[in-house]
Structure 1
Amino acid sequence: MEFQNTREFAQQLDAKDKLAKYRDEFIFPHVNGKQVIYFTGNSLGLQPKRTKAYVDEVMDDWAKLAVEGHFYAEKPWWDYHERFAGPLSKIVGALPTEVTVMNTLTVNLHLLMVTFYRPTARRYKIICEEKAFPSDQYMLKSQVKFHGFDPDDAIVEIKRREGEHNIRTEDVLAKIKEVGDELALVLMGGVNYYTGQVFDIKTITKAGQDVGAYVGWDLAHAAGNIKLELHEWNVDFAAWCSYKYMNSGPGNASGAFVHEMHHNDMDLPRFAGWWGHNKERRFLMEPAFDPVRGANGWQVSNLPILSLAPYLASVEMFDEVGMTALIAKRDLITAYLEFILHEIDKEVDSTFEIITPPNPEERACQLSVFLHGEGRALFEYLMKNGVIVDWREPNVIRLAPVPFYCSFEDMYEFGQILKQGIVSHKK
């Protein structure tokens, strides 16, 4: 498609957009009395309007039924989480028994590492990517120390080549082969939070398992954003937050995946709790732990229903639309945003460097832009003028044109505000 940097062209794209109606399903903040252009769904998604009804339903059941809501609410609380199995499994490419919801992201990764990081004197190393999200870095270091190893020795980071912003798959595979039989675990982000690079999950997973390691993924920036086939790719485990692309609300419950090949292995250690116990016998209060056969067997405590309610509202919206339609719009609107950035760059004679891979297969709903010659003042100008973007040191803004609620006209309007901001700061 030949793009044009005009409002009319952007409006034509919106008129053809089959997902355009979903924009009205979300609540937008306002700046200076005007609805914002929202580019930070990769940090916190907007609130779906339907969320309130789901939360109100739980509040009403709590008021009317109190403890009996566990069994007699319209959506009984004791099996509330089971409603996620169908829609979530479609989002991440899993069997319904392979997914669950529980806790929060880093908590889930820690719990999953109880099972999948069991170092020995010989096989103890972990491979991750350079500049992983800080929470993952802290988690990995604390796990390694807990097992009595030195993080400087046990944690192997895949680094970017000199002068490059993204990690090459060939370098990941080479490092896996190099570490070889010392490798206990590969744990990487499916999408790098800083650059927006999408990793080749299928290829990396196979390479790690071929040398005898487990392979897990932090899908915080991937779930609800990219095509995932966790079951078919034979991923051992994964976890993701729900508040970014899945719009469940700040700090909300996490999703988790455990491949079915591990479901019946009772020799795998795990930290047990009664909500992971055999559902049919849970209330018998038996002393011996009998885990549910499936990802639910990794649950620990009963679920926070008030947190799950907005998440359920969102995953049911995903089920209506489907990942295929979301990805199709994602690719088009991201490409249009890339075009707008290059056009504005030429008009104002500035120097933007998009550090996200140009190949659509290696990126998703994010463009990270290095603002050479521009500083934080430009970021602040955008924010004051109703463009909500994300700043990352030293000089990068992250732009996520989320297909559920961003419009093509937003992309055009952003370009005009960006141009005004650059021109005003050059005067």
Structure 2
Amino acid sequence: MTGLLVAQSDDRRSLEKELLKYPQNGDDARGRKWLTLAANLRINFMTEPVLPQILVTNTLTRRKEPLKSLDPSGNKIRMYACGVTVYDDCHIGHAMQAIFFDVIRRYLEFAGYDVTYVRNFTDVDDKIIDRAKQRGMSPARLAQDMIESSDRDMEAIGVRPADHQPRVSEMIPQIVHMIQDLIRDEAAYATKSGDVYYRVRRKSDYGKLSGRNPDELRSGTRDLVQGDKEDPLDFALWKKDDVPDASWDSPWGRGRPGWHIECSAMSKEYLGNSFEIHGGGRDLVFPHHENEIAQSESANKAPYASCWMHCGLLTIEKQKMSKSLGNHITIQDFLKSWTPEVLRFGILQYHYSSNVDFSKAVFQQCHRRLLYFYETLDLLNQMAPEKVSAPADPLNHHWLIGEFHKAMSDDFNTAAALASLNKAMKAGRELAAGKKSAP
């Protein structure tokens, strides 16, 4: 299915050049079939009329609203998505979020936006340190191995690399600088023990993303203040530590950054103080994204991300995926039984904000549906250059592209976009079977 995405010209020769990039066998041969069909029908996606305004459900405002560029050109979209913590191989839950934001980025580019996409690697974390100890290796070596594994997994499932893929370990100077700014403004404080905390009470609108009230959060904590913290709600910006390969010198002594400040520093480095889209899983809304907003807006004296998008969660047969339940599926294990297209198709049948539930039966159904699509395309390809001219006909590519745009410009509704493709495939089968008359 990915082959059609690269067909950017109605010039036959250009499409034939694209065809040469694909081998004659395997899954890539299927991509050739899409390109062949595009060449025969002379489809040009990139010269379609200007799209209507893209609407996005914004977690911050709790409304569906127009996506607006903050750049004076009105044509730039900067997007940051929280990436993986690299202590183990990626599982299909990681794939779900990566695929959704990959498609969102692709559609924004397709719509004519100049997109800068940042997706980070968290390569400094307690889980990495603990796993490295178990394996008898350094945290830095484990993180590097897992980053390379993640890159291979993403390539295998058709996820394009982000424009920038920063690592926490590469951003320590920027993180330290941001913490210093917060301390100078008294939005943060260093303790005698060498830790640094953010003062949550200094942010008057803390809780605006998650809808949580600091007073209610305070009443839900133990009265005992942990360590040198002034308030139980305060969160760590810097932690005293001396683990080799996972700690750095700082004005407060040797240590490592807290989780939340990492993304604030990385997004600022590549996207600036303010940008258009920040994404991640729904489980990150609080405390991670809430704390990102607080520290970033305090340090930068500017609004952070204007639109927040959150993906749903993935379950296996209605249960949370975990190794203890025996339903933990890595991307590598999935690809031993199914093609990458099955995974992408299965995920994109859902809206990005919906929870996704998978099972073997679902994978089988996706596999059968993909075969149906390819068989239908083969039948239509054999009939080319037959033309379908009725404007409202699902076989008319202008109708199909219009329905695709209608779905994707309405909160990136991949489920509705695939439903339109289903209509086109059904009409194609009817035409091939003689139940539908060609014009």
Q: What is the TM-score of this pair, normalised by structure 1?
A: 0.26
Rg bigger for which structure?
2
Which fold has the larger relative contact order, with Cα–Cα distance below 8 Å and residues 6 or more apart in sequence? 1
Q: What is the TM-score of this pair, normalised by structure 2?
A: 0.26
